[in-house]
């Protein structure tokens, strides 16, 4: 090959290498799993559609407590009769408080139903801030027990921070539960159905994203690394990483729904509910189990 032709060829190859490198760097931006944990599927349990279809949490106090689940069949009649007809993914604190998130079809508020360690229940209502979405899909209690994170449906660049109702001494069932601060995300998330703390500044979240344009996959398992532990005194940032697609396996074809998530700090097991499409929601919906790779 003549020298000028070789030079042109080398220049073209160099350009392709540069473009390929840029593409890799672009893919390794906030949505990449390169610097995050990997999670390997280790098994599954059947998820009952009426009582295990929305969320779940492991309970550390009292000792040997069973895991708890939510679904339309777990909503008490007196709660649903007052309009709180949807329950989301719950969480439990280190010191034995259990919190369920509720929403209604219309209005300007959302509700958190709290069971104290002595078994008594109380309700904490939050009046929506300007621009806040009505839905209430999940709650996640910080490891220190004092703060609670919650999220909104749709494509969002934030998570909401509240004093943990019933646990934080600043809260009262007779007063509005105020938003304390915000987690500002560096990458948009869509249709988050559940989050749980796996460490003081790390969240694992299940996304029901049906589109796939944000991370290149639908129904992703997300990791959000916070710049600091939430404490209500100011906003923190959250770095979002897509770890993997959640399992989408069923005898039926159609649209799956990713639901709640739980990280058991005692065992290191991560569990995520995925409901099957169509008739198979009754037969082969699963709670999948994962361990850190």
For the chain, what percent of residues have pLDDT higher than 70? 88
pLDDT per residue over 236-282, tens digit each? 999 999 999 999 999 999 999 999 999 999 999 999 999 999 999 99
DSSP assignments along 74-113, one per residue:
GS-HHHHTTT--EE-B-EE-TTS-EEEEEE-SSSSEEEEE
Q: Find the helix or strand (DSSP H, E) in which 26 lies.
A: helix 3-27
What CA–CA distance (Å, rounded) separates 18 from 92?
A: 49
Residues 6+ apart with CB under 8 A from 246: 206, 219, 220, 221, 258, 272, 274, 288
Tell me the mean pLDDT in the region 121-133: 97
Lowest model confidence (mean pLDDT) among 6-10, 200-204, 217-221: 6-10
What does R_g of the chain's alpha carbons equal in angstroms? 21
The structural domains of the chain, with segments of one domain joined by +, span 36-292
- Look at phi and psi of residue 156 and say left if phi exceeds 0, alpha if psi is from -120 to 50, else beta: beta
Q: Looking at residue 37, what is its pLDDT?
A: 81
Residue count of the chain: 293
Are 220 and 243 spatial neighbours (Cβ–Cβ below 8 Å)? yes
Q: Looking at residue 91, what is its pLDDT?
A: 98
Q: Looking at residue 10, what is its pLDDT?
A: 38
Q: What are the distances in angstroms from CA 164 to CA 53, 108, 155, 169, 180?
A: 24, 20, 25, 9, 10
200 has a pLDDT exceeding 60: yes
Q: Looking at residue 86, what is its pLDDT?
A: 98
What CA–CA distance (Å, rounded) separates 242 from 214?
A: 9
Q: Which phi and psi angles does 67 have, rounded to 5°?
A: -65, 150
What CA–CA distance (Å, rounded) separates 266 from 262?
A: 12
Q: Looking at residue 4, what is its pLDDT?
A: 41
* pTM of the shown model: 0.88
For the chain, what percent of residues have pLDDT higher than 90? 86
pLDDT per residue over 16-72, tens digit each? 333 333 333 333 344 444 446 899 999 999 999 999 999 999 999 999 999 999 999
pLDDT per residue over 129-150, tens digit each? 999 999 999 999 999 999 999 9
Q: Looking at residue 293, what is its pLDDT?
A: 85
Tell me the mean pLDDT in the region 120-130: 97
Q: Looking at residue 21, what is its pLDDT?
A: 34
128 has a pLDDT exceeding 90: yes
Mean per-residue pLDDT over the chain, rounded:
90
36-292: CATH topology: Neuraminidase (2.120.10)
- For residues 195, 197, 202, 206, the Cα torsion angle rounded to the nearest 10 degrees is -20
Question: By C-alpha distance, which of 24, 48, 20, 19 is closest to 34?
Answer: 24
């Amino acid at each position: 090959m003549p020298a000028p032709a070789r030079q042109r060829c080398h220049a073209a190859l160099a350009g392709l290498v540069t473009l390929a490198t840029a593409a890799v760097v672009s893919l390794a931006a906030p949505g990449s799993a390169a610097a995050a944990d990997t999670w390997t599927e280790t098994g599954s349990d059947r998820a009952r559609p009426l009582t295990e279809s929305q969320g779940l949490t492991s309970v550390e106090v009292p000792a040997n407590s069973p895991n708890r689940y939510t679904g339309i069949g777990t909503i008490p009649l007196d709660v649903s009769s007052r309009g709180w007809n949807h329950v989301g993914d719950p969480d439990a604190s280190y010191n034995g408080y259990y919190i369920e998130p509720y929403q209604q079809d219309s209005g300007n508020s959302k509700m958190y139903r709290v069971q104290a360690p002595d078994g008594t229940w109380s309700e904490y209502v939050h009046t929506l801030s300007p621009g806040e979405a009505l839905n209430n899909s999940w709650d996640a209690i910080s490891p220190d027990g004092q703060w609670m994170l919650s999220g909104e449906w749709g494509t969002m660049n934030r998570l909401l921070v509240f004093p943990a109702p019933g646990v934080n001494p600043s809260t009262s069932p007779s007063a509005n539960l105020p938003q304390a601060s915000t987690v500002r995300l560096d990458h948009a998330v869509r249709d988050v159905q559940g989050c749980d703390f796996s460490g003081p500044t790390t969240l694992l979240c299940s996304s029901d994203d049906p589109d796939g344009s944000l991370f290149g996959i639908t129904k992703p398992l997300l990791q959000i690394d916070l710049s600091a532990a939430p404490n209500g005194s100011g906003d923190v940032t959250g770095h979002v990483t897509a770890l993997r697609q959640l399992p989408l396996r069923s005898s039926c074809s159609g649209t799956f729904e990713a639901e709640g998530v739980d990280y058991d700090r005692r065992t290191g097991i991560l569990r995520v509910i995925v409901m099957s499409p169509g008739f198979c929601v009754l037969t082969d919906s699963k709670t999948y189990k994962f361990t850190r790779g």
